[in-house]
Amino acid sequence: MTVLLVIVTFAVFIAVDMILNRKRVPALAMAEEPQAAASAVDEEILSGFRVPATLRYHPGHTWLHRERKNVHRVGADEFAAILAGPVDRIELPKPGHWVRQGQKVISLYRGEDKIEMISPVEGEVVEVNVELANNPHLLREDPYGQGWLMSVFAPDEEGPTRNLLPANLLSSWMKEAAEGFFGLQPQLAGVTAADGGRPSKDATANLPVDAWHKAAKQYLLS
């Protein structure tokens, strides 16, 4: 009789546990939904320019993404890519070269004219995007993807975040840059893409060289 009672009690416990587990499954599925929603805002548009929320930004309009411990990928944000416009050559530091945060290390050419960009991080260049040598247009077409610039090994793990913009200042920073950029030349005020409000990728194609240099020095801090 005692053995039978133990078996019945054990069976009841199993049944109760199965019922509770069924209730937990929907709860776990619902808990995953906010993660999917968060990824939807990664490609945030600020003042007409794409500014992915997953990246960190330097005031000189370069971005930083941690690839692995001490190694960070570097690129130009969309504002810088559109300001650069249709470049025909990009010069990057060679692997093994030491770069300092704020140092001019990237050159973007239109014929013999060029503008420069600064590094957002200090460290040793370990890789550069060789595709840009043959396809410099990738910078303008896909600045956050195939148009990346270089990867840097930063020995100081905390160092790369110094002097980068906090997330709560990105909107005002980009607004100020956009307003100033389109105010440089009257003809740029209406240069927007057909998809509504977004700057055309060719916005600076006909910008006078002097104005191009001036804009680069002001906004790319070079």
| Domain that includes residue 165, residue range | 49-219
Is 16 part of a structural domain of the chain? no
Is 38 part of a structural domain of the chain? no
Number of structural domains the chain divides into: 1
What are residue 218's DSSP bridge partners? none
- CA 142 from centroid of its chain's CA atoms: 11
pLDDT for 182: 79
DSSP helix/strand/coil, 210: helix
Instruction: Determine phi and psi for 160, rounding to 5 degrees.
Output: -60, -25
The answer, yes or no, to whether residue 125 has pLDDT greater than 50, is yes
Is 114 part of a structural domain of the chain? yes
Instruction: Classify burial at 58, counting beta carbons within 10 Å of its beta carbon; exposed 0-12, middle 13-18, buried 19 or more.
Output: buried
What are residue 98's DSSP bridge partners? 124
pLDDT for 191: 58
Q: What is the pLDDT of residues 34-78, one digit of tens each?
A: 333 233 335 689 999 999 999 999 999 999 999 999 999 999 999
Is 86 part of a structural domain of the chain? yes
Is 117 part of a structural domain of the chain? yes
pLDDT for 206: 84
CATH number, position 75: 2.40.50.100
Is 36 part of a structural domain of the chain? no
Is 127 part of a structural domain of the chain? yes
pTM of the entire predicted model? 0.77
pLDDT for 97: 98
Is 2 part of a structural domain of the chain? no
For residue 27, what are the contacts with CB-CB under 8 A and spacing of at least 6? Answer: none
